[in-house]
């Protein structure tokens, strides 16, 4: 040190000479003079460590979108970082940030290459970056399976099915809860089931459904169309209901010939013993110079049409207008028409299950329409309405099914198709009536479907009195009271009529 000088009472000026011990070797031995490092501005920082990425969903204005959240461990004495990323072989995106994480919004399925550099105080980046190659799935990953499914019957025709709320954002925002039904109670298959109600919103946790015996199966579907891998089932084994009268049981598969109703865009395949949707190409279009022998044996050639209809072969006349319980019956399964029967040496019943993951893209629904007119005349029918288990009012009933496929490579095979029509037990009780000394004609307030059973309660019978019930019809009956001598007498009585159905 040479001198210290006060300048303004606050600051001091120090004069000194620097000391470099290598000067002696420089003078005496002609060795290079070592330069002293008196600054940190020339230090090149190390790259960050533990670079990682996490894929998440976020609410992008009411739409679920995917993003990557990138983070890393800090580097000592480094404040800023340069991040470079690109999707696939696209252009690089470059950002300089002053934090330890970064988000890439609205990502797509594919490979992302990510580089992160440390930037020193001299604004020089690290020589090498922290490098990460990340496989993003975007919204292609399937939602989780539905959990917490339960069903509570609210009457003989309907129930409430409940489940735990979805956790995935792409299900809650624009997704669905799919609900299907299968007549099987043991090991029901999702692909062999049909929609029982329109899908619930992804944010819902319960839905009213028609009550049918069998299995209800649920899956989540996100707004991208991905569905849960496994269906969650709840089994319904209905208790014995109140007695009902089976008016008509349709089983179109047991008709002679089977499925002899009217088809539009569908046909009966005798080899499969069921009805399927037409293909997009007619067999006539495949023949060359009338050579039909060269055609494959299966009728489904080309892509499967989106939909087809089958209308039952007969209408049903109730005779009068009644409220009728109707329940559908489906046994159906997906079918890949690409394989020819001639190419398979096994029996159809021995064919293995087709290894596909989108076989649930087919469905079948049942519809009914009614008229209050005489079906044998010139009736005016109402609109077709979808049903599974319902009470429908009418005199004439007609049924049809609509089968659909959202994948042209997959058809639906309906093995069994039917409807059960039933009338509920009805009871009519009268007030106290006076018969008069003759035959009394009682008329029911509402006619039954068939003649009911009649019970008489007499109030003032004398010893030896008796009564005769005659001419019991669905409209009424007659009763006559007589004394021990067989002479008609007047008595007070009431009646109870128990039968099925109540004419409207």
HEC profile of 88-133 = CCCCCEEEEECCCEEEECCCCCEEEEEEEEEECCCCCECCCCEEEE
Q: Which residue has the tokens 């735990």?
A: 164
Interatomic CA distance for residues 211 and 157, integer angstroms: 5
Question: What share of the chain in percent tops pLDDT 90?
Answer: 71
- Check pLDDT > 80 for residue 287: no
> Which among 39, 50, 44, 51 has a CA at the least distance from the CA of 119?
44
Q: Which two tokens stand for residue 143?
A: 């939602």
- The CATH class that applies to domain 150-241 reads mainly beta
- Model confidence at 1, pLDDT cuts 50, 70, 90, reads low
Q: What is the mean pLDDT of the chain?
A: 88
Neighbours of 221 (CB within 10 A): 21
**What was the pLDDT predicted at 281?**
56
Question: What's the CATH architecture for 247-424?
Answer: Sandwich (2.60)
**What was the pLDDT predicted at 241?**
63
- Among the listed ranges 40-49, 191-200, 265-274, which one has the minimum average pLDDT value? 40-49
> Which among 428, 435, 401 has a CA at the least distance from the CA of 328?
401
- Check pLDDT > 60 for residue 165: yes
- Model confidence at 8, pLDDT cuts 50, 70, 90, reads confident
**112 in Cβ contact with 138 (< 8 Å):** no
Ranges in the chain annotated CATH 2.60.120:
247-424
pTM greater than 0.75 (yes/no): no
**What was the pLDDT predicted at 2?**
67
Interatomic CA distance for residues 51 and 316, integer angstroms: 72
Phi first, then psi: what are they for 420, rounded to 5°? -105, 125
Taken in order 445, 451, 455, 456, the sign of the CA dihedral is positive
Q: DSSP class of residue 199? A: P
Angle, CA 295 vertex, CA 359 and CA 289 arms, to 5°: 140
Q: What is the mean pLDDT of residues 116-145?
A: 92
- Model confidence at 89, pLDDT cuts 50, 70, 90, reads very high
Phi first, then psi: what are they for 67, rounded to 5°? -145, 160
The DSSP H or E segment spanning 27 is helix 23-28
**181 in Cβ contact with 194 (< 8 Å):** yes
**What was the pLDDT predicted at 38?**
62
**What was the pLDDT predicted at 302?**
56
Interatomic CA distance for residues 17 and 2, integer angstroms: 7
- Check pLDDT > 70 for residue 37: no
- Model confidence at 344, pLDDT cuts 50, 70, 90, reads very low
Helix, strand or coil, per DSSP, at residue 292: helix
Ranges in the chain annotated CATH 2.60.40.10:
150-241
Q: Say if residue 257 is preceded by a cis peptide, omega within 30 of 0.
A: yes
**What was the pLDDT predicted at 100?**
95
Q: What is the mean pLDDT of residues 414-425?
A: 95
Interatomic CA distance for residues 184 and 391, integer angstroms: 23
> Which among 21, 39, 41 has a CA at the least distance from the CA of 31?
21
Angle, CA 435 vertex, CA 430 and CA 438 arms, to 5°: 145
Interatomic CA distance for residues 41 and 75, integer angstroms: 16
Topology of 430-500 in CATH? Immunoglobulin-like (2.60.40)
- Among the listed ranges 26-35, 58-67, 107-116, 241-250, which one has the minimum average pLDDT value? 26-35
**What was the pLDDT predicted at 157?**
85
- Check pLDDT > 70 for residue 63: yes
Neighbours of 234 (CB within 10 A): 15
Ranges in the chain annotated CATH 2.60.40.2080:
430-500
Q: Which alpha helices (H) appear in 191-308, and where do they start and end? A: 283-286
> Which among 427, 475, 470, 424 has a CA at the least distance from the CA of 451?
475
Tell me, rounded to whole angstroms, the distance of Cα 374 from its chain centroid: 39
**What was the pLDDT predicted at 345?**
46
- Check pLDDT > 60 for residue 479: yes
**What was the pLDDT predicted at 155?**
83
Q: What is the mean pLDDT of residues 294-318?
A: 77
């Amino acid at each position: 040190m040479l001198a210290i000088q006060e300048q303004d009472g606050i600051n001091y000026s120090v004069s000194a000479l620097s000391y470099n011990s290598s000067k002696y070797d420089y003078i005496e031995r002609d060795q290079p003079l070592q330069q002293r490092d008196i600054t940190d501005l020339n230090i090149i920082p190390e790259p960050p460590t533990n670079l990682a990425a996490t894929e998440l969903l976020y609410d992008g204005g009411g739409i679920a979108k995917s993003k990557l959240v990138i983070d890393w461990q800090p580097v000592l004495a480094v404040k800023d970082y340069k991040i470079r990323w690109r999707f696939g072989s696209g252009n690089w995106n470059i950002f300089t940030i002053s934090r330890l994480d970064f988000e890439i919004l609205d990502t797509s399925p594919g490979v992302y290459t990510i580089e992160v550099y440390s930037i020193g105080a001299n604004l020089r980046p690290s020589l090498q970056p922290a490098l990460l190659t990340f496989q993003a799935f975007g919204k292609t990953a399937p939602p989780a399976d539905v959990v917490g499914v339960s069903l509570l019957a609210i009457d003989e025709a309907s129930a409430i099915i409940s489940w735990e709320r979805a956790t995935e954002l792409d299900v809650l925002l624009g997704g669905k809860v799919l609900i299907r039904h299968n007549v099987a109670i043991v090991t029901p298959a999702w692909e062999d089931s049909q929609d029982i109600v329109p899908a619930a919103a992804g944010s819902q946790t319960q839905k009213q459904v028609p009550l049918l015996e069998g299995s209800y199966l649920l899956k989540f579907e996100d707004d991208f169309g991905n569905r849960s891998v496994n269906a969650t089932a709840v089994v319904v084994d209905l208790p014995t209901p109140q007695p009902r009268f089976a008016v008509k049981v349709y089983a179109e598969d047991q008709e002679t010939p089977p499925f002899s109703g009217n088809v539009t865009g569908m046909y009966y395949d005798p080899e499969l013993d069921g009805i399927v949707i037409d293909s997009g190409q007619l067999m006539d279009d495949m023949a060359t110079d009338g050579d039909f022998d060269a055609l494959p044996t299966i009728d489904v050639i080309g892509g499967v049409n989106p939909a087809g209809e089958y209308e039952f072969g007969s209408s049903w006349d109730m005779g009068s207008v009644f409220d009728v319980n109707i329940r559908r019956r489906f046994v159906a399964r997906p079918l890949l028409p690409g394989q020819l029967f001639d190419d398979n040496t096994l029996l159809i019943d021995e064919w293995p299950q087709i290894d596909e993951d989108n076989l649930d893209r087919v469905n079948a629904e049942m519809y009914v329409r009614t008229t209050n007119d005489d079906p044998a005349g010139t009736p005016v029918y109402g609109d077709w309405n979808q049903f599974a288990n319902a009470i429908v009012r009418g005199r004439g009933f007609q049924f049809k099914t609509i089968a659909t496929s959202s994948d042209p490579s997959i058809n639906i095979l309906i093995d069994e198709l039917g409807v059960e029509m039933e009338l509920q037990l009805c009871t009519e009780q009268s007030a106290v009536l006076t018969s008069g000394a003759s035959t009394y004609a009682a008329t029911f307030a509402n006619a039954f479907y068939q003649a009911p059973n009649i019970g008489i309660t007499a109030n003032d019978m004398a010893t030896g009195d008796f009564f005769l019930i005659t001419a019991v019809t669905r409209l009424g009956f007659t009763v006559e009271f007589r004394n021990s001598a067989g002479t008609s007498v007047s008595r007070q009585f009431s009646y109870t009529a128990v039968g099925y159905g109540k004419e409207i």
